[in-house]
Copies of this chain bind each other. A is one copy, B any other.
């Protein structure tokens, strides 16, 4: 692409570094910003810079935070003895959006994946074990993606938690709401039969 302005070209290059944004999309975004108020564009740039400079990670659960601990940990209305273990911040946001979970979190920062060179030491598993020891946690719920890496991470972490006598659970797998039985994969369908529930618990939801 040929630009007649270096300022425009630099802005397009910066945008096209973002994931999933090619040169054409970057140009569309930059030309949109060019049409906005100078004040609005300044707010955009400053908000992004400020976010990166000032954001912190909660010392307790490793979620994003505006201070030393995050607003979820600080919320005393939430069950402090119930920890949901997730891979990353995006999963926290997904679970929070359901508005059904009233405990707190622990963000692992990834999952055990030897092929990608990620071992248990790069994750916050040690910090989770310390938390459970100190905080008198009653239950740890694993909400990890259902693949080999997720299962390995659950297995490894559960071994570490076992001596502490805490209850360890994992979120339910099964046919999704609106899912058709005939299109479900065999493993999911098989598991959903093995882990069948009394009809009362289904109706009450």
Contact of B52 with A14 in the complex, beta carbons under 8 Å? no
- The reply to whether the CB of A132 lies closer than 8 angstroms to some CB of chain B is no
Q: Which residues of B sit under 8 angstroms from A18, Cβ to Cβ?
A: 29, 32-33
Which of A20, A36, A89: most chain B CB closer than 10 A?
A: A89
**Oligomer copy total:** 2
Q: Decide if A41 is an interface residue (CB 8 Å cutoff).
A: yes
Bound-complex Cα distance A70 to B9 (A): 13
Interface contact B54-A7, CB-CB below 8 Å:
yes
A41–B45 touching, CB < 8 Å: no
**Is the CB–CB distance between B64 and A8 below 8 Å?**
yes
Closest to A65 in B: B5
CB distance from A44 to the nearest CB of B (A): 5
Q: Is the CB of B47 within 8 A of A14?
A: yes
Is the CB of A63 closer than 8 A to any CB of chain B? yes
A34 in the interface, Cβ–Cβ < 8 Å?
A: yes
| Nearest chain B residue, comparing its CB with the CB of A88 | B31
Interface residues of A in 76-133 (CB under 8 A from B): 88-90, 92-93, 96-97, 99
Q: Which of B15, B34, B70 contacts A52 (CB 8 A)?
A: B34
Which chain B residues border A203 with CB–CB below 8 Å?
none
CA distance A41 to B7 in the complex (A): 17
B49 touches A4 (CB 8 A): no
A positions within 8 Å CB-CB of B: 1-8, 10-11, 14-15, 17-21, 25, 27-34, 36, 38, 41-55, 58, 63-66, 70-72, 88-90, 92-93, 96-97, 99
Sample of 18 A–B contacts (CB below 8 Å)? A2-B99, A3-B93, A3-B96, A4-B70, A4-B72, A5-B55, A5-B66, A6-B66, A10-B51, A14-B43, A14-B44, A14-B48, A19-B32, A21-B29, A27-B90, A34-B52, A42-B49, A45-B48
